[in-house]
Amino acid sequence: MDEVPLTFDIPVNRTVEKTGTSTVSVRTTGNEKSSFTVVLACQANGQKLPPMIIFKRKTLPKENFPAGVVIKASPKGWMDEEKMSEWLREIYVKRPGGFFHTAPSLLIYDSMRAHITDAVKKKVKQTNSELAVIPGGLTKELQPLDIGVNRAFKARLRAAWEQWMTEGEHTFTKTGRQRRATYATICQWIVDAWADISVSTVVKAFTKAGIISELPGNSSDTDSDNDEREPGRLDAVVAQLFNSDTEEEEFEGFVDGE
């Protein structure tokens, strides 16, 4: 599991302009600093869990949201102990094979504060799961989502935003300023982007992290959704790296005003 901080506008940070141009305009709705969080989770066999979206507000938006996503509201728009408990109860426990806790599982995520409180650890234990906490600074080496999934997910989101900016239906304020996409529209982009991530992409990310081993005859160069590989065992050397629940990640939420 991993949290992905996002904004309502997703402009590219590079463009092409004539040399010497003093000002380069980038078209947005002015919401490129308005933040929210998407919580993604997937299993080593490629199964993806429904995303949880945490919007930065006190109450849930009154819109018709698409199926396949869990919507939450939080004043900070970021994961905290309460939202972590809700994620465990509403998404993690409902994963395939997770409801009756019959098979033991390994839950892997980074060491941000909300992940490692005593209350959260207790709830994870109650699901017949062992917790593997990635020490600070090692997520790019050990977090499958960071290694091979998040970038592809965000690229699909940006493509959806760019298409909406150029071809979508827009509304404007009295002063002529274009309004941002609705909460429901953004949620649909997220559902579509997440659905577009292939099974093989997820499996390869777990393999690159060293969490599962590739079975003979399976090529990591293929990108097929029909990849039915069973996960191998966690390498002992890699397992030793999951030994810290005190060292925290650098990013602990949004600053005020974002």
Confidence of residue 19 (pLDDT cuts 50, 70, 90): confident
For every residue of 179-237, DSSP letters joined together read PPPPHHHHHHHHHHHHHTS-HHHHHHHHHHTTSS-PPTT--TT---TT--PPP-PPPHH
pLDDT tens digits for 168-223?
888 888 888 888 889 999 999 999 999 999 999 999 999 999 998 864 444 444 44
The 3-state DSSP class for residue 44 equals coil
The pLDDT, as a whole number, for residue 64 is: 93
Q: Helix (H, G, I), strand (E, B), or coil: what is residue 70?
A: strand
pLDDT for residue 199 = 95
Share of the chain above pLDDT 70, in %: 74
Is residue 244's pLDDT more than 60? Answer: no
Predicted local confidence at residue 247, as pLDDT: 42
What mean pLDDT do residues 141-169 have? 91
Confidence (pTM): 0.78
Burial of 87 (0-12, 13-18, 19+ CB in 10 A): buried
More confident residue, 119 or 236: 119
> Rounded CA gap, 170 and 112, in Å?
38
pLDDT over 50 (residue 137): yes
pLDDT tens-digit series, residues 39-84: 999 999 999 999 999 999 999 999 999 999 999 999 999 999 999 9
Whole-number average pLDDT of the chain: 82
With a cut of 50, say whether residue 126 has pLDDT above it.
yes
Using pLDDT thresholds of 50, 70 and 90, give the confidence band for residue 102. Answer: confident
pLDDT band at 17; cut points 50, 70, 90? low
Does the pLDDT value for residue 101 go beyond 90? Answer: no
State the average pLDDT over residues 246-257. 50
